[in-house]
Structure 1
């Protein structure tokens, strides 16, 4: 391979040198030729022109290095061989700036590049003279492969950068020959004690998805992935601040066996590297973006939908033309219309909105990278819990900030009002009706649209609860959307990967309206006027709603569902709910709210709050539950800050003028504190139910337990073992399953042994754990009693009666927890009775008596 860069220039330069030396024999002579005659080393010092033009732009280019630790180890063990799909002057200098910034080895050779224009004069002169001397002495300038230069650099432990085109023509001999020659030369320098690590690196000019249909500009000036010189300059100028991105992939250790065929090995390595680079690129850009009209056409021309139209027309005796028009109306109502120009503007707006509402957004970078890798090769469906209207703004914004393409998000048709509806649609939302039972045509159109999204490889997202949780707990899953996605994937013969997402807020924006609904008020519909009222939340200069924690659970693959399971969709739903619950982050505010409500009284001392919080933390740490960073750093300080926030928001009233300062909990704030407490209540489900069982069997009547040792009987003295009380625990766990979205799996004594062990170590604190779910017993007991007395009364009227009766019981001291009158809690009780077949009055009365034993 001959080095052919500017050969005509060097021929004329040599003739000029000969002419000059005829008169001045010693002019322009080098004492020693450079050992690196190729002007591409990133170690070279740059000239004033470079310093004037480029640094101000280069430092603004964003970067991703998710495998920084692996790169560090690879750098210490062997030689880094950087691999790029394409390179020019701008990419070269962006890479060089990035390597210097992060302390990575600088390549001493880069294929297909020269940097004469950026060299200092003395170095430029020496390089040119070296090239001329080689041309004079050898008649040619030897290439880096034929001269052995590339092999020598790698053998000396120096990094190099190879261009390996990742095009659809990569397997063509014309395109692959040079790439494989470079790899072969690199492999010749391989030794077992100095392994080679190939590091994919890509410069992404515009991280937005490419369009499926090529425009005239793409044909004339090159595509965004590999633009021509003119378009490259324009793209860099437009995108270097926000869209241009450098991404380093995972270093690949590709071993070379002795006596192997280097040509075959190089071919395998090239193909593997091309595949890896394409995947790395897709982690950013996602699948090619198709226009909305394409989806509309594909859905309406789907053969399976056409057959369903014929069947529905026959069954309902309607003209097929009329049904076709109706199907067209439905798909126009449903389909998204992603527009990244709108997304870019919305992203900037939301940055301002979020910063005015919340202090920080905490996310695990490793979980994000796992999601990116999966989304590049699989059809991914994000499944978050639903705490606030901000959820469907925060999640896409988070993905966009981490350089991912946005998912198609299932949203309720109630959110399609102007002006948010059109914006949501351009942000990836597709709108579906809350209910369409009996509407076969609507369901058929929606399923066809879902099949198309899955087939084309687009990621999706939907809320498994269906609507926002009004209680702070994860609501039971709605199976409709999950079932349609599962069936659609089976129809197109593609496995889906469901990625659970857990949102934890210190405080949600809509908390006031949630409390009103829990107290019996009707839900207010979403509309433009409701949107305008939200502007008042943006007037505060300081964020008032604390932190937001976003965690991604372990993905659930549809091909891992047991084949013999009687209801795979239900199994999948509860697997996802378990993961969402498991990745909820325990916040200081949630712990303080739990401590405030745990005595069941109207006041508590500051000392008792701290002791309770520390007790709960001991339990969480033993169970390896996720804690907010402030709790792991300094639990006492975080607790004090959270308590101060409760005082500022008037959730508690301080009484500091007493000899023993204490905090009063107003009755009208108990539901607010209960909502905050419910964020982490599911972590106490086992230990609290067990504590209630033990307390009932020991005959304790409640009261303030304190934390001093007492002469209470031990477990063994009461004859209590996990095996003896497992039936009672199973009964309560199933009765209250809807309160923490339990999956109904078989429970054994081994499942509760860790909780029993913790209670044995902390027996004096047993009433505190029992108190955490005491309001469940009060609510379900009240519901069972009144349902037995008024079996024919509609649920809405029955719940109203329950609340009226419960308020009287609170005044009379028969009940102690105002939060037991939560509308959602009473609704769950009635639903649970129905599911467990407590249908007749005698069974309900017996249940009421049983629950009263725990009170």
Structure 2
């Protein structure tokens, strides 16, 4: 007979459990297993609430009814009238043979009423007898030649996302600890969190395959252990259990199922939370940290004690102290933010599942791109919504100010300095703390770029913290460490106003309460859609093998540096590869890279459609809002994106009836006719450039070739130049790639020659260029634009960077008279750039950008034009003269046409 819960309870629990969201993947997975035979749901702890939930779900989705549940039969079925009640083993056989499913609980709660604080709670074994019955049933089916392979499905119900806590509270004493909640606590969790409950099925274990793999080993274990039984009868009984070989198989099966259940649970809630003082003491006992303290203290005991106190104070100032109540409050805040400020948030669901699988195998190191302070909140919000453990987050100590500092700390942030230089004790404390987090199984999140990108492009990686994480991971031989590259993108960023001021030369405002109070005005705006996508997950073991490190081998400093550098560039490359192309980024690129005063709506749609086709051909991923499942661009997405910019003041629209001599008519709503023409105000170009640069990496290779080709197409005087040979083009591109070495993240998986050859071949296939007798010319084009138009467009994508480098080159002329600190030279360059723009020597106002000029000066040092002496920049000997310093600017200017649209579309 199927299980029949008491009719009085049916209505009550059915009403609640019908409100719980169940993932379609769970339903499909169970139905696929049911098609193969009877299913046994395996749960970790004996729980009436879990059983009632599973009973409700099987009825709700038309799955086979439950016919067995060990240790809870009296609650859900009436006692039989016969004198002899069937054993659990007999009942589970009867249920499966009748076509029902079964529920198998593996553990009962511990008997100790008042557990010792800090002790790990372990339940008592409960499922051995039913498991032995299943083993016998599977063996009988095999002997009879029946195609039966009983699936044991690890089933997890997550009624609360609070992690376990090693600190025993009064509530734990009365209602059971988090790991083994009593029925009242479990029922309360369901009632309070039913909208956020999670139902997950782990990787099924097929009993037939398990027996084929383990049966012979179990017989060997029995044969080996039986002679020792007279000497240690209790130990042998614990090892073998009742039933000889079947006892060993049942015990091994229990362990295998518990491991799968525990991996699933830890991937969702993470490790049990330790008291903060216990974590500090464990960190301070680190042998490596103690060795540094002894070395710094010398022979005296007093010095060691003082340094230990200092290390303890340092730990207090940096340590995270996650609090479930704070995390829940921040989740509600994030819900409000997501619905009020953003139109929607696109999440890479396949990437989420890859992260989940990696979390089951070991510790995660999450490495997101960093464009906004919202990144912290959005990252945790997405993970929590998808039932993944929340990370411990490395944050700069500039965010430790009151009241945000304590709030962030309770949300899982730990605060570290931007630089550890000169403080060996501090670096050792941070290293020991990170090692402890990884050893305990925490996910760690930090931004490999260091600070927020002010340009929209990913920044060059900072290796300090990554080096510590890698070194800690190399010391944990039995733990898998997975690095997860993550791209977070926005159509508009909340900080765009402050970014524009900083890019134009303004001083960065220090984070403070005053700045926090300004957020109210920011929240009145709409910022379009946000998105999150995941790159290929990189395993530390695979990276070790790639640099020639054998398992167990101690990495030399050189090999560790090679591993860290390789990992950093792989991560940044994966972030670029995972970056989603949004409607806003396409609109920004089209509006900033055309050769007209204004762009009609029809021309904007046509160019965005071309770019959508192009980026898809280049292997880029697009947001669901941009393209249909067929890959076709949604025109409405482009209209929505441009209207987002119009409402934000980044774009102006000119409609019929507006004139050049009068003010535009006021309208009750934004005009959306197809005859509108869009323009970008000069003061807004630098803001729109943030969105354009999000996808500029996709076109950099083609843009460099186009800039080099255009340099040989038309001179400023209009005189025709001969098209370059392929070798001439290659040399020009090589010089440009070296110049922009610090500006863009180029591919790190191939040498320059290979990348150049692959890119030129792809441009030839697409008809953008043609090579005739080793001479490179314009091709026939594609998607309604000829080769000359495509080359002009690609070159326009990089024009503001070339003009920015030209500004920096012009500014270096002051170094003929005196050396200057870099900060002062950048300030002068910004003034020079403003004059060059107003004097029409450059076209793009966004070229007057602090980060671009800083990168240009660093590139000039790399190129040998400048050098650094005592913290100042000075001209190298070859260019330290009035007549030679203009050569730097002239070489860059040779790649710039008088007007960017001379060859544009």
Q: TM-score, normalised by structure 2?
A: 0.80
> Which residue of structure 2 lines up, in the alignment, with residue 159 of structure 1?
101
Q: 2:503 aligns with which of 511, 518, 524?
A: 518
Partners of 2:51 and 2:103 within 8 A in 1: no
Contact 2:135/2:207 (8 A) holds in 1: no
Q: CA deviation at 1:384?
A: 0.8
Of 485, 488, 513, the residue aligned with 1:503 is 488
Paired residue secondary structure (2:452): coil
Cα shift at 1:237: 4.6
- Which whole-Å CA distance do the structure 1 matches of 2:502 and 2:384 have between them? 34
Name the SS for the 1:97 alignment partner: helix
Measure the CA separation in 1 of the matches of 2:169 and 2:707. 69
Shift of 1:321: 4.0
What is the CA distance between 1:629 and its match in structure 2?
1.1
> Among residues 18, 41, 47, which one is paired with 1:82 in the alignment?
41
Structure 1 residue 817: Cα displacement: 0.9
2:696 is matched with which residue?
A: 681
Q: Distance in 1 between matches of 2:429 and 2:122?
A: 40
Measure, in 2, the Cα distance between the counterparts of 1:468 and 1:739. Answer: 15
Q: Distance in 2 between matches of 1:674 and 1:341?
A: 40
Alignment of 1:599-638 (within 5 A): 599-633=594-628, 634-638=633-637
The corresponding residue for 1:17 is none
The alignment status of 1:589 with 2:584, answered yes or no, reads: yes
Query: Following TM superposition, by how much is the alpha carbon of 1:157 offset from its aligned partner in structure 2, in angstroms?
Result: 4.7
Q: Which of the residues 374, 379, 387 maps onto 1:403?
A: 387
Match of 2:202 among 249, 254, 258: 249
2:854 is matched with which residue: 809, 812, 827? 827
Task: Tell me the equivalent position of 1:783.
Answer: 808
The one of 431, 436, 439 aligned to 1:447: 431
Structure 2 gaps of 5+ residues are 110-119, 217-244, 549-558, 659-674, 770-780, 867-875, 880-884, 897-905
Find out whether 1:475 has 2:500 as its counterpart. no
Output the CA distance in 2 between the equivalents of 1:402 and 1:182.
34
Pairwise CA distance, 1:694:
2.0
Choose from 56, 69, 80 the match for 2:15. 56
Q: Distance in 1 between matches of 2:32 and 2:537?
A: 28
CA distance in structure 1 between the aligned counterparts of 2:121 and 2:395, rounded to whole angstroms = 41
Alignment deviations for residues 468-526 of structure 1 (CA, whole Å, 9 cap, x no partner): 11111111111111112222223454553211111101111110000010110000011
Partners of 2:370 and 2:453 within 8 A in 1: yes
From 295, 314, 334, give the equivalent of 1:330.
Answer: 314
Structure 1 CA distance for aligned equivalents of residues 122 and 433 of structure 2: 34
Does residue 110 (structure 1) correspond to residue 69 (structure 2)? The answer is yes
CA displacement, residues 289-325 of structure 1 (integer Å, 9 cap, x when unaligned): 1111112222334343233123223499994444333
The CA distance in 2 between the partners of 1:453 and 1:726, in whole Å, is 49
Q: Do the aligned residues in 1 keep the contact of 2:487 with 2:579 (CA within 8 Å)?
A: yes
Note if 1:201 corresponds to 2:155.
Answer: yes
CA distance in 1, matches of 2:764, 2:108: 59
SS in 1 for 2:367: strand
Partners of 1:269 and 1:589 lie apart in 2 by 53
The Cα offsets for residues 68-105 of structure 1, whole Å up to 9 and x where unpaired, read as 54444333344433222234432222112223334433
1:151-230 equivalence runs, <5 A = 151=93, 153-155=95-97, 157-165=99-107, 176-186=128-138, 188-189=140-141, 193-215=147-169, 218=172, 221-230=175-184
**In 1, are the aligned partners of 2:435 and 2:472 still within 8 Å (CA)?**
yes
Summarize the alignment of residues 262-281 of structure 1 with structure 2, pairs less than 5 Å apart. 263=246, 268-281=252-265
Shift of 1:427: 0.8
- Going from structure 1 to structure 2, the CA distance change for 1:417 and 1:497 (only over 3 Å counts) comes to same
Counterpart-to-counterpart distance in 1, 2:72 and 2:268: 26
2:777 alignment partner in structure 1: none
The whole-number CA distance in structure 1 between the counterparts of 2:877 and 2:806 is 13
Cα distance in 1 for residues equivalent to 2:430 and 2:694: 33
Q: Secondary structure at the match of 1:476?
A: coil
Partner in structure 1 of residue 412 of structure 2 = 428
SS at match of 1:851: helix
Q: Is the 8 A contact 1:155 1:189 kept in 2?
A: no
Structure 1 counterpart of 2:671: none
CA distance change for structure 1 residues 310 and 113 in 2, over 3 Å: closer, same or farther?
A: closer
1:142 aligns with 86
Q: Distance in 1 between matches of 2:696 and 2:540?
A: 29
Distance (Å, rounded) in 1 between the aligned partners of 2:585 and 2:856 = 24
Q: Secondary structure at the match of 1:307?
A: helix
Provide the alpha-carbon RMSD of the alignment: 3.3
Output aligned runs, 1:376-387, within 5 Å. Answer: 376-387=360-371
Q: Per-residue deviation at 1:402?
A: 2.2
Question: Is the aligned partner of 1:356 residue 2:340?
Answer: yes
Residue correspondence of structure 1 range 432-831 to structure 2 within 5 A: 432-493=416-477, 496-538=481-523, 540=524, 544-561=526-543, 562-563=546-547, 567-633=562-628, 634-657=633-656, 661-699=676-714, 718=723, 721=726, 725-742=729-746, 746-747=751-752, 748=754, 749-752=756-759, 753-758=761-766, 759-760=768-769, 761-762=781-782, 763=787, 764-787=789-812, 789-790=814-815, 792-831=819-858
Return the alpha-carbon distance in structure 1 between the equivalents of residues 562 and 296 of structure 2: 27
Question: Residues 669 and 180 (structure 1 numbering): CA distance in 2 closer, same or farther, change over 3 Å?
Answer: same
Match in the other structure for 2:895: 854
Residue of structure 2 in register with 1:92 after alignment: 51
In structure 2, the residue matched to 1:31 is none
What is the DSSP-based 3-state SS (H/G/I as helix, E as strand, rest coil) of the residue aligned with 1:772? helix
Instruction: Flag the 1:106–1:734 CA change in 2: closer, same or farther, 3 A.
Output: farther
Greater shift in the superposed pair: 257-266 or 342-351: 257-266
> Conserved in 2, the CA contact under 8 Å of 1:418 and 1:528?
yes
Q: Which residue of 2 aligns with 1:23?
A: none
Taking structure 1 as the reference length, the TM-score comes to 0.84
Distance in 2 separating the partners of 1:479 and 1:185:
57
**Cα separation, 1, equivalents of 2:742 and 2:27:** 43
Distance 2:124 2:573 in 1: 49
Would the alpha carbon gap of residues 441 and 491 (structure 1) be closer, same or farther in structure 2, given more than 3 Å must change?
A: same
Farther off after superposition, 249-258 or 51-60:
249-258
CA distances 1:785-809 after superposition (whole Å, capped 9, x unpaired): 4325526232222222222222222
Q: Deviations over 1:806-845 (max 9, x none)?
A: 2222233221111111111111111222234333264675
* Whole-angstrom CA distance in 1 between matches of 2:521 and 2:135: 62
